[in-house]
């Protein structure tokens, strides 16, 4: 085993550079500081000077610059994000144990169980260095979950790449998928779902989002605060190195000291083994109640951890920075404060628990160093070899950053985009109508980049580890068992549609929520909470700012209407190539609860002769659809949002699952009914005989529209013959549109749709599963 020094020696080179002390800063007010290179604006630097009453030291400047960055401070979105906390009823708060603001929100599952989940972005690093960017995205979100006192139990990864046939897409795709697999598989966390979208708007700016979920007993919930004067502050896990410096703000300037080695990359490098050991070691600390407060080190590293722990607790902390264990002894104090080296945690420990804490560290061979202690001075004091280099009110660093009311306005082009409907457009010419044309269209749809099988990706992820995965990709939601005795578990789904949101950001964000909500309900789970990852372009562009403001307004209104609160999330801005922003992409994750995961509903048909029903009504809604996308059209209005109908549909799916009235359920969304029918067939290789005549007559649509329209609040379910009357009665009593569209056919090996040439399941599978291997090998 490695020898672990309890207290590290000051770095050997500690005196090689001139230390800018607080005393020195007061004495030399006119020293030029590289605030602009560190990403601060003039007004922000002036504000720092005002807060401190003097110029900041180099170390203080480093802290403020990362903590006041857009990534850490939410300065452009804060004024809008408030709505998530405001548009909440008492009823919605009932199961929320920890809300927005902590590392992750916590929701009550009952029986003394709690669940925490959160989704975050790791977009820019994943473009620069896809493997490490995606890997450390998983690492970061998992540490957020551990910080709450939970055992992480699963991950998911919504991914958005450039055009499937662009030469650079394979680089990003291969790297990101291998990174997520390489890191997540090594942590022993099943990957239970996600998304995959190809669109040229993401070419220079892929979206790599990561979600993690963890479970704990109520009494194990931990918060990030440093309380209790005299308690010890400890940093443990990996050593601090030069990786990821300024990752949250900008690539760090080298002007601190010109004798330094070459510039280091702003992308962090992950070590999944260190993280796995850190997980087990933290859980052992929690089990022994050995920590008072805990915080992971992610964006802004020690700057973030010390200022947040101190400001959330009794308000003071004293830290000796030379005690930090380093990988690179040449790091300056500012670099140590900004480093985003992975796999590190900071904790607050009472003096009487120090010995027990060290025993756990030693057992897992985790390095640690005691940095200082909690004080009641209200100041965060950081020393370097005893000399004070930081003396700040931690609140000013962690919470009182600048807040901007960025100007925003409805873009001039929005009206003309919305006026450009697909129906009747040039791209709509020659719409398939003959049986052979419709069969070809269905096959083309399910082979298209966004609708094809994602198995090439998901087969590179371990979905079994832990032994609690009750459902995973390609079903609508991932389902994980929490309690082995009762079968209590959670379901999770993430969704976003950048095209819908581009056409109407308010509605688009609501549609993302509606789909994730529906996916969770489809599995039979009761939707409980929301986490969102808002991926947008530059907030300094009024068009983008309007998209962001509208999306937040839409999402918060919809959460209120569906009665599920946002418990946490992340905002990722400046996602653009040059001046061209990505489609606004609010990725919404919904978490639901299943009293017994054995009752989950899968998406595929199995039993011959079961009745297939379409729930919900179909309108002519092709704008923004996958079909329009395949034809190269983007315009018009996205599908209508009907949250009352989503809620009703959700109730039907949940009740039907609980009472054993359905054996399969699949939501109808991107790709319309055509995609849903093919996916339900291919899930277990069991086909069906379908007639959509009643749908066409009732809703006044033609066969093409019935198949390809993306009207919302719809699902396809398979009902056992014995349950058909009961199921129909329930739908009728709830006044929800339902129509029998066919029967499961386990013998034929085909999907037969009246008016469409017979589709063989083998051919459909070949088309569906062939696309990704064709492009990515």
Partner 1 sequence: MTEQPLIGEAVAIAAEPRLAGARIGVVTFPGTLDDRDAARAVRLAGATPVALWHADTTLADVDAVVIPGGFSYGDYLRAGAIARFAPLMSKIIDAANSEARLPVLGICNGFQILTESHLLPGSMIKNDHLKFLCRDQVLRVENTATAWTGDYTAGQEITVPLKNQDGQYIADEKTLDALEAENRVVFRYVGWNPNGSRRDIAGITNEAGNVVGLMPHPEHAIEAGFGPENGSGTEGLGFFTSVLNKIVGDNK
**Of the listed pieces 78-86, 182-190, 261-269, 400-408, which binds partner 1 according to CB under 8 A?**
182-190
Cβ closer to partner 1: 288 or 378? 288
Question: For residue 513, what are its two tokens?
Answer: 């929520």
> Is residue 175 a contact point for partner 1 (CB under 8 A)?
no
DSSP assignments along 96-165, one per residue: EEE-BTBSSEEEEEETTEEEEEEEEE-HHHHHHSHHHHHHHHHHHHHHHHHHTTPEEEEEEEEEEES-TT
Which position among 49, 163, 204, 364 is part of the footprint of partner 1 (CB under 8 A)? 364
As given in the structure block, the two tokens for residue 688 are 């069906």
Q: Which one of 128, 598, 644, 725 is in contact with partner 1 (CB under 8 A)?
A: 598
Under the criterion CB under 8 A, does residue 355 sit at the interface with partner 1?
no
Taking CB under 8 A as the rule, does residue 465 contact partner 1? yes
**Other Cβ atoms within 10 Å of 725 Cβ, number:** 10
Specify whether the CB–CB gap between 221 and 106 falls below 8 A: yes
CB of 185 to partner 1, least distance (A): 6
Per CB under 8 A, 136 contacts partner 1: no
Q: Exposed, middle or buried, 265 (CB in 10 Å: 0-12/13-18/19+)?
A: middle
N-to-C CA span, the chain: 42
Of 187 and 324, the one with the shorter C-beta distance to partner 1 is 187
Residue 359 in the binding site for partner 1 (CB under 8 A): no
Beta strands in 404-551 (DSSP E): 469-471, 478-481, 489-495, 526-535
Which of 153, 224, 245, 587 is in the footprint of partner 1 by CB under 8 A? 153
Task: Pick the closer one to partner 1 by CB: 484 or 659.
Answer: 484
Print the binding letters for residues 629-668 with partner 1: x by CB under 8 A, - otherwise: ----------------------------------------
Closer Cβ to partner 1, 417 or 455, answer by number? 455
Indicate the residue among 100 and 457 with the shorter CB distance to partner 1. 457
Q: Is 239 in the site for partner 1 (CB under 8 A)?
A: no
**Residue 434: which residues within 8 A CB-CB, separation 6 or more?**
none
**Which residue, 347 or 741, has its beta carbon nearer to partner 1?**
347
Return the range that interacts with partner 1 (CB under 8 A); candidates 150-158, 257-265, 418-426, 736-744.
Answer: 150-158
**Nearest distance in Å: CB 103, partner 1:** 18
Q: Choose one: 237-245, 262-270, 476-484, 705-713; the region binding partner 1 (CB under 8 A).
A: 476-484
- Least Å distance, CB 205 to partner 1, is 26
Using the structure block, give the residue that is written with the tokens 């969704």.
495
Separation between Cα atoms, residue 536 and residue 550, nearest integer Å: 12
Judged by beta carbon, residue 460 or residue 691, the one nearer partner 1 is: 460
How many residues belong to the site for partner 1 (CB under 8 A)? 51
Contact 616, 521 (CB under 8 A): no
| Residue among 458, 490, 486 nearest 474 (CA) | 458
Asked whether position 746 contacts partner 1 by CB under 8 A, the answer is no
Kindly provide the b/e burial profile for residues 635-674, where b requires at least 16 CB atoms within 10 angstroms of the residue's own CB. Answer: bbbbbebbbebbbbbbebbbebbeeebbbbbbbbbbbbbb
- Does 5 engage in binding with partner 1 (CB under 8 A)? no
Task: Give the pair of three-digit tokens for residue 646.
Answer: 């989503």
Helix (H) or strand (E) holding 755: none
206 close to 213: Cβ distance less than 8 angstroms: no
Kindly indicate which of the ranges 91-99, 267-275, 312-320, 543-551 contains the residues binding partner 1, using the contact rule CB under 8 A.
Answer: 267-275
Q: Which of 122, 583, 738, 768 is catalytic?
A: 122
Q: Which is nearer to partner 1, 477 or 545 (CB)?
A: 477
- Per CB under 8 A, 268 contacts partner 1: no
Sign of the CA dihedral with 399 first, then 404, 405, and 407 last: negative
Q: Is 473 helix (H, G, I), strand (E, B) or coil?
A: coil
> How many alpha carbons lie under 13 Å from residue 184 in its C-beta half-sphere?
35
Beta carbons within 10 angstroms of residue 579's beta carbon: 8
Q: According to the binding rule CB under 8 A, does residue 762 interact with partner 1?
A: no
Please report whether residue 766 would count as binding partner 1 according to CB under 8 A.
no
Q: How far apart are alpha carbons 769 and 443 in whole angstroms?
A: 11
The Cα–Cα gap between 626 and 496 comes to 13
Output the smallest distance, CB 683 to partner 1, in A: 9
Which range binds partner 1 by CB under 8 A, 280-288, 408-416, 511-519, 616-624?
Answer: 280-288
The region of 62-70, 147-155, 222-230, 293-301 touching partner 1 under the rule CB under 8 A is: 147-155
| 464 touching partner 1, by CB under 8 A | yes
Torsion of CA 599, 604, 609, 612, to 10 degrees: 90
If the CB atoms of residues 684 and 775 are measured against partner 1, the closer one turns out to be 684
> Taking CB under 8 A as the rule, does residue 576 contact partner 1?
no
**Contact call for residues 11 and 331 (beta carbons, < 8 A):** yes
One DSSP character per residue, 528-548 reads EEEEEEEE-S-TTSHHHHHHH
Q: How far apart are CA 767 and CA 171, in angstroms?
A: 24
619: contact with partner 1 by CB under 8 A = no
Q: Does 220 bind partner 1 (CB under 8 A)?
A: yes
Query: What CA–CA distance (Å, rounded) separates 102 from 148?
Result: 8
Strand partners, 211: 119, 156
Answer yes or no: 71 catalytic.
yes
Residue selected from 468, 572, 601, 680 as contacting partner 1 according to rule CB under 8 A: 468
Which of the residues 75 through 134 are near partner 1 (CB under 8 A)? Answer: 112
216 binds partner 1 (CB under 8 A): yes
Distance (Å, rounded) from C-alpha 702 to C-alpha 688? 21
Parallel, antiparallel or unpaired: strands 526-535 and 566-572: parallel
Please answer whether residues 688 and 642 qualify as being in contact, where contact means their C-beta atoms are separated by less than 8 angstroms. Answer: no
Q: Does 272 participate in binding partner 1 (rule CB under 8 A)?
A: yes
Closest approach, Cβ 358 to partner 1, in A, equals 16
> To the nearest 5 percent, what fractions of the chain are helix, strand and coil?
40, 20, 40
Binding-residue pattern over the window 665 to 704 for partner 1, x denoting contact by CB under 8 A: -------------------x--------------------
CA distance 339 to 493: 33
Task: Please state the closest distance from residue 182 (CB atom) to partner 1, in A.
Answer: 7
From 14, 265, 435, 466, residue interacting with partner 1 (rule: CB under 8 A) = 466
CA distances, 269 to each of 329, 342, 440, 749 (Å): 18, 7, 46, 48
Taking residues 422 to 461 in sequence order and writing x for each that binds partner 1 by CB under 8 A, - otherwise, the string is ------------------------------------xxxx
| Nearest CA among 143, 151, 317 for reference residue 238 | 143
Give catalytic status of residue 738 as yes or no. Answer: no
Segment interacting with partner 1 (CB under 8 A) among 6-14, 126-134, 176-184, 445-453: 176-184
Q: Which stretch binds partner 1 (CB under 8 A): 72-80, 241-249, 283-291, 507-515?
A: 283-291
Residue 186 within binding range of partner 1, rule CB under 8 A: yes
Contact flag: residue 569 with partner 1 (CB under 8 A):
no
Q: Which of 142, 155, 283, 582 contacts partner 1 by CB under 8 A? A: 283
Provide the minimum distance between the beta carbon of 772 and partner 1 in the complex, in angstroms, as a whole number.
Answer: 12
Asked if 485 touches partner 1 (CB under 8 A), the answer is yes
Between CA 678 and CA 688 the distance in angstroms is: 10
Q: Say whether residue 204 binds partner 1 (CB under 8 A).
A: no
Q: Which residues are catalytic?
A: 71, 122
Site of interaction with partner 1 (CB under 8 A): 1, 112, 150-151, 153, 178, 181-182, 185-188, 215-217, 219-220, 271-274, 276-277, 280, 283, 286-289, 364-365, 458-470, 481-482, 484-485, 597-598, 684
């Amino acid at each position: 085993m490695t020898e672990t020094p309890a207290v590290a020696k000051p770095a050997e080179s500690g005196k090689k550079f001139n230390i800018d002390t607080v005393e020195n800063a007061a004495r030399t007010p006119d020293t030029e500081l590289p605030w602009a290179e560190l990403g601060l604006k003039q007004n922000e630097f002036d504000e720092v000077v005002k807060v401190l009453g003097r110029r900041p030291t180099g170390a203080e400047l480093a802290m403020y610059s990362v903590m006041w960055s857009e990534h850490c401070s939410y300065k452009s979105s804060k004024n809008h994000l408030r709505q998530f906390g405001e548009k909440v009823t008492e009823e919605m708060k009932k199961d929320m144990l920890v809300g927005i603001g902590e590392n992750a929100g916590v929701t009550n599952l009952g029986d003394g169980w709690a669940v925490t989940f959160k989704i975050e972005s790791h977009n820019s690093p994943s473009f620069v260095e896809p493997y490490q960017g995606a890997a450390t995205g998983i690492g970061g979100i998992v540490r957020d979950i551990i910080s709450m006192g939970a055992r992480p139990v699963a991950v998911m990864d919504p991914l958005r790449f450039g055009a499937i046939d662009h030469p650079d897409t394979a680089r990003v795709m291969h790297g990101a998928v291998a990174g997520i697999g390489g890191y997540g598989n090594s942590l022993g966390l099943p990957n239970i779902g996600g998304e995959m979208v190809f669109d040229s708007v993401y070419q220079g700016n892929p979206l790599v989002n990561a979600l993690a979920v963890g479970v704990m007993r109520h009494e194990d919930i931990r918060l990030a605060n440093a309380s209790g004067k005299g308690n010890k502050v400890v940093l443990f896990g990996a050593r601090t190195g030069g990786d990821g410096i300024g990752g949250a703000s900008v690539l760090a300037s080298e002007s601190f000291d010109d004798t330094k080695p070459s510039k280091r990359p702003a992308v962090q490098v992950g070590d999944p083994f260190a993280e796995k050991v850190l997980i087990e070691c933290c859980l052992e600390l929690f089990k022994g109640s050995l920590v008072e407060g805990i915080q992971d080190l992610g964006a802004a590293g020690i700057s973030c951890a010390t200022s947040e722990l101190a400001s959330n607790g009794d308000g003071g902390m004293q830290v000796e920075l030379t005690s930090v264990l380093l990988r690179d002894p040449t790091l300056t104090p500012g670099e140590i404060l900004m480093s985003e080296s992975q796999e590190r945690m900071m904790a607050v420990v009472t003096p009487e628990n120090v010995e027990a804490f060290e025993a756990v560290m030693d057992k897992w061979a985790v390095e640690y160093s005691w940095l200082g202690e909690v004080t009641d001075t209200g100041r965060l004091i950081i020393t370097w070899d005893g000399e004070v280099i930081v003396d700040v009110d931690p609140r000013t660093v962690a919470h009182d950053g600048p807040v901007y009311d960025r100007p925003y306005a409805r873009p001039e082009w929005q009206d003309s985009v919305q006026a450009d409907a697909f129906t009747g457009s040039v791209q709509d010419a020659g719409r398939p109508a003959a049986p052979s044309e419709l069969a070809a269209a269905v096959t083309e749809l399910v082979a298209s980049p966004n609708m094809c099988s994602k198995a090439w990706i998901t087969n590179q992820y371990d979905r079994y580890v832990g032994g609690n995965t009750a459902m995973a990709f390609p079903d609508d939601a991932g389902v994980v068992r929490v309690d082995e005795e009762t079968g209590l578990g959670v379901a999770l789904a993430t969704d976003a549609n950048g095209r819908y949101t581009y056409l109407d950001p308010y509605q688009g964000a609501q549609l993302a929520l509606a789909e994730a909500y529906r996916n969770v309900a489809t599995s039979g789970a009761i939707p409980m909470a929301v986490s969102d990852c808002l991926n947008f372009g530059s907030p300094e562009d009024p068009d983008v700012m309007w998209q962001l403001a509208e999306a937040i307004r839409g999402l918060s209104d919809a959460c209120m209407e569906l009665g599920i609160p946002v418990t946490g999330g992340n905002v990722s801005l400046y996602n653009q190539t040059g001046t061209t922003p990505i489609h606004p992409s609010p990725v919404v994750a919904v978490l639901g609860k299943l009293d017994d995961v054995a009752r989950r509903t899968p998406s595929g048909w199995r039993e011959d002769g079961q009745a297939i029903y379409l729930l919900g009504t179909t309108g002519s809604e092709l704008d923004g659809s996958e079909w329009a996308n395949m034809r190269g059209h983007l315009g018009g209005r996205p599908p209508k949002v009907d949250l009352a109908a989503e809620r009703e549909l959700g109730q039907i799916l949940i009740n039907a699952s609980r009472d054993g009235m359905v054996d399969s359920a699949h939501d109808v969304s991107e790709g319309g009914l055509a995609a849903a029918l093919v996916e339900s067939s291919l899930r277990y290789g069991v086909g069906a005989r379908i007639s959509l005549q009643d749908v066409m007559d009732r809703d006044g649509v033609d066969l093409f529209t019935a198949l390809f329209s993306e009207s919302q609040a719809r699902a396809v379910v398979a009902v056992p013959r014995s349950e058909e009357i009961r199921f129909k009665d329930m739908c009728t009593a709830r006044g929800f549109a339902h129509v029998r569209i066919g029967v499961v056919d386990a013998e034929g090996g085909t999907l037969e749709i009246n008016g469409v040439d017979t589709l063989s399941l083998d051919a459909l599978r070949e088309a569906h599963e062939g696309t990704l291997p064709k492009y990515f090998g």
